Chains A and B, each alone.
Chain A
């Protein structure tokens, strides 16, 4: 299964091909000239020429919407006209209004901004050329990862520069509410989707028809984030399936011959909103997206953000990917215009594909020295980082060691060839300098940067101090997360070895699967791919000499202790954080929690434990972790969610949670996992 995409269309850029800095030319020639360039893209050959108004009309007049309007009218008791009127309004709120004029304006502004922020924007030309080809052949879906607001228009900017048709971009509705900016985005091709659509049938109907029509007619490439939202942690987010399904449906139903998916990996040396995100994770509410907020944030524009890599992956044919996975005959007996609940087969296929895309995005992402350094910094006790500092020499030595390991594991590293006598040291020095917001280097030691509190009369409370440390740690954790996909599979195996103390391969596999099950909101795995993941982990650990692998056994090698302890420590914060929450759920008397109450309680508990020195990871404070635990427990059927009055409530099956906790702490031997069927959680 895993190999289907690798054979022919993996993201692989095995032969390290050229990344070209597209800002270089902008620095040399006129920005205005660029904005006013002749734009002559080669569109999809089957595309019907169709204005934005035509597109909206086609959507509203579609058989599907007519049918849905009737059905909804019958259900709600309103008239069909009223429903259609409402559909019309939804569409108005949603639809893009791409205009070249606006693209030019945006292009001009962006050139200015990008030049200020980034030392370079590196794009792989081969990927871009393949994209240019693909666009002419089949409808194309651009699927970037989402790490920063910056992602939003960068693809369009590149497409404009290289004469590729401008995409329509799925965006969150809050953006449309921003004065002026919303309209600008709309005219740059953005269309806006509400959050939490829930069971709003009409909204789903309009949205899905809109998306399908774009794909079917191929009037423009469609760009959307399969992760659904911007990752707050710079880690991949579990993909959302709704949009993915809408996009795929025209292929399933034979309305297009094929659809081409273009995975795009955008990687940043330094993310614009790093501190904002860390605070958000600590429960300091996110600023509402508004134009004023954007202007206020403009001070971030004064800083240096290093470079950005945009890696256009190899085009992937949906037809090829779905071969043998979907029996398209299932659509034969019902008119294709009518709503049809997707079969289990279709759902599985869509989910598989979405996860696959995330994996390919991960494989295509480029990480710099900072991601490696962040891993290592986080493994030092926080107190060391805040008080005495980590010796620079130790950090650099360790980083170089880790670089080798990462390369062994197949990482795509952006390690500039520095100048001077010790080029590698220079690279690391400038990396640390770039991330002055997180760490600083003083007297041969590296310290975590604490936020400067406004001078006050009263002393800073321990809690306040902790928040400021936590913000820095979470920023560091985010940068570490950029490298997690490289290490996570071997790290899971190492964790399995460590917890179970067994060497039996089948037991290790069982535990490995268990860990994947528990942490699959944290790290993205392709469903049904566990055995291959396990094999991959064995292979990589063997490759770097950390373990011996035989037919039956995996044994630790003496030479591999450094690798093993690094990998184990890499996942420890996740395990610790999960266990804190598990224990909270088990030991507390209540069975039912309101969402808010739960989140506050968990955060307070974690704060307490950290202050008392019982818990060593600040990541337990991250709301992302809390939400992931809840989702994981729901997925594992140990917690059920219900909607009570204003907010969600969670009912906990304590025995089941306790069992997971026991397995995770090694109290239940892996044989039990293996033998009892219900152990497969």
Chain B
């Protein structure tokens, strides 16, 4: 059974490894308390801004720890040092403080970029560029009387006016600020939210829920046509685990908690949710529910829709929730499915009861090299067919494999580099793999030690049938690291005229290869047509497997030197790529959601009647469009 009391054992070390990547910067408590924990709402406006309230990552003032115009923590970034070597600053990650020798060559070689050509960002946020707030005085007066903290400080507002789409970050780097919320409020609990929504209805104020701010669908963008006062409702202070029910293995959690806090706090009690989207350091539980998030270990734990047992959402019509915590119900269409994926258009998720699991006894990374992508996909398909997918299995294409390889930190010993050389020789020369075609699947196994080892063998046996060779834990782990540092890498690229983004889809198995090839080729073709002068990076990975299909994730980036409006070009290419995805039988989104970025395709995605259904729900729940972010519909 799970325990995390005594550190030191090998098994324990491995089990903690992955969590350390993400949360290594924080000090976890040594011991867990495995009784039911209860916490109460303590809504007090006067409460001081405890940015370092024990165990909580996100302070009310995000600017204390996070960048205003880029990804993640202020103290963490990639840079090229004076010697021209890439380096990752800070102390938070495993890679932090390390030199990454191969990155420069890869970067310059892939994008035709040069360290001589810099495109630096505006250094500080100029508050003058921010429109003065349009305040609804009556609303403000009544809000004050509730004691819920709020702010109309320019910085606070700008921080909550964007997600992490390329155009949003690019504009910030240029110091450009568009429509931003007029004020920010920080409810401390469910009841606070109820009050805020009531006041908003009463005074016709537009509310935009804000969780972790990691949206990549223009979901947080304020509609330019909105003339009412826009209030960003920041849930970051609603971040408690209200109780843990060990008999039923559920936890009742406030929706503002971010992924890393949730996991760490549960770990302290010996549990986990197992829900680990790549954004889990910053994204919030409420956000996951509102966008139908997916975690990388969904093969064991399920996606958010599988994890949610009970949800409470505050809408302009009142609170919606189920009356019991039965594991399954046949009571008409599941009302949870009006909530999940509603993207903040219907109300605010305030509390969620989630499944929890004992922490896994043992974790192990792995990787398999395939001679080509086709073989790799065939292997993943077989694994899915036999329903023996590990906690995570991802297949990176050749470009992405090289990308991951470029992130290898400086090796400490001659011996390691000798071993690497030997491995490379074995794969490329002895086994005859073409270095420009081979691809890598990364694996993460989780569970009891015996079972993991058995499982591992089963998967490697299947892989062998498709020409796969086991390529070690290290390669696997680095593959996962890539997904956590990719957003930091984008910021590095933007310093040197390189812009990029990722997007995803889900697609039936028989179409996986075709969609990967066609979308990548479309990106390259469109870049050429739109006058991009350098070959773009156009790469993908099969990142989740299902019985009937897979989730495919694309990275796309290019050097924009010589373009007058790079963001526009970027958007045209991304749009074309999405058209290509849809034409190849891919879905509009697997887990990023629709937001405003993709809503032009909603009608063809869900049919006219489907749109009508969604619209009628909106019309009933929120006739005055209080939740006016205009996502989805």
Instruction: Please report A residues at the B interface, Cβ cutoff 8 Å.
Output: 46, 254-255, 257-258, 327-329, 331-332, 335-337
Contacts and interface: CB of A to CB of B under 8 A. Distances in A.
A167 to B, nearest CB: 23
B604 interface: yes
Nearest to A137: B521
A455 to B, nearest CB: 70
Given A257-B522, A336-B510, A331 B585 contact: yes
Which 5 A/B pairs are nearest by Cβ-Cβ distance?
A328-B583, A254-B584, A257-B521, A332-B585, A254-B514
B568 interface: no
A327 B518 CA distance: 16
Contacts of B585: 254, 329, 331-332
B510 A257 contact: no
Nearest to A257: B521
Contacts of B582: 329
B583 A257 contact: no
Nearest to A254: B584
A335 B510 contact: yes
Contacts of B514: 254-255
B517 interface: yes
A46 B514 CA distance: 12
B515 interface: yes
B521 A254 contact: no
A254 B515 contact: yes
A332 B511 CA distance: 10
Contacts of B511: 254, 336
A46 B521 CA distance: 12
A579 to B, nearest CB: 49
A638 to B, nearest CB: 41
A257 B521 CA distance: 7
Nearest to B519: A257
Interface in B288-307: none
Contacts of A46: 517
Contact of B517 (A257, A329, A332, A337): A257
Nearest to B511: A254
Contacts of B521: 257-258
A611 B585 CA distance: 66
Given A254-B514, A254-B518, A257-B518, 8 more contacts: A254-B511, A257-B521, A257-B522, A327-B583, A329-B585, A335-B510, A336-B510, A337-B510
A552 to B, nearest CB: 41
26 contacts: A46-B517, A254-B511, A254-B514, A254-B515, A254-B518, A254-B583, A254-B584, A254-B585, A255-B514, A257-B517, A257-B518, A257-B521, A257-B522, A327-B583, A328-B583, A328-B584, A329-B582, A329-B583, A329-B585, A329-B604, A331-B585, A332-B585, A335-B510, A336-B510, A336-B511, A337-B510
A337 B514 CA distance: 14
Contacts of B518: 254, 257
Interface string B513-545: 011011001100000000000000000000000
Contacts of A327: 583
B140 to A, nearest CB: 49
Interface string B484-526: 0000000000000000000000000011001101100110000
**Residue of B511, B515, B522 most packed against chain A (CB within 10 A):** B511
Q: Which of A46, A255, A258 has the most CB of B within 10 A?
A: A255
- Which of B510, B517, B583 is the most central at the interface, judged by chain A CB atoms within 10 Å of its CB? B583
Contacts of B522: 257
Interface string B563-599: 0000000000000000000111100000000000000
Contacts of B510: 335-337
Contacts of A329: 582-583, 585, 604
Nearest to A319: B525
Nearest to A335: B510
Contacts of B584: 254, 328
Contacts of A328: 583-584
Interface in B336-370: none
Contacts of B515: 254
Nearest to B521: A257
Contacts of A331: 585
B605 to A, nearest CB: 10
- For A257, A329, A331, the residue with the greatest tally of chain B CB atoms inside 10 Å of its CB is A257
A259 to B, nearest CB: 12
A327 B515 CA distance: 16
A332 B584 CA distance: 7
A294 to B, nearest CB: 45
A143 B514 CA distance: 26
Contacts of A335: 510
A328 B511 CA distance: 13
A329 B511 CA distance: 13
A636 B604 CA distance: 37
Which of A327, A328, A337 is most buried by chain B, counting CB atoms within 10 A of its CB? A328
Name which of A254, A255, A329, A331 has the most chain B CB atoms within 10 A of its CB.
Answer: A254
Nearest to A251: B518
A329 B521 CA distance: 18
Interface in B578-633: 582-585, 604
Contacts of B583: 254, 327-329
B80 to A, nearest CB: 34
A255 B518 CA distance: 8
A174 to B, nearest CB: 38
A327 B584 CA distance: 10
A46 B582 CA distance: 23
Nearest to B515: A254
Nearest to A332: B585
Nearest to B583: A328
Contacts of A336: 510-511
A464 B29 CA distance: 112
A327 B522 CA distance: 16
A503 B517 CA distance: 56
A336 to B, nearest CB: 7
A327 B604 CA distance: 12
Nearest to B518: A257
A50 to B, nearest CB: 13
A317 to B, nearest CB: 9
A329 B518 CA distance: 14
Nearest to A255: B514
B510 to A, nearest CB: 7
Nearest to A337: B510
B530 to A, nearest CB: 15
Contacts of A332: 585
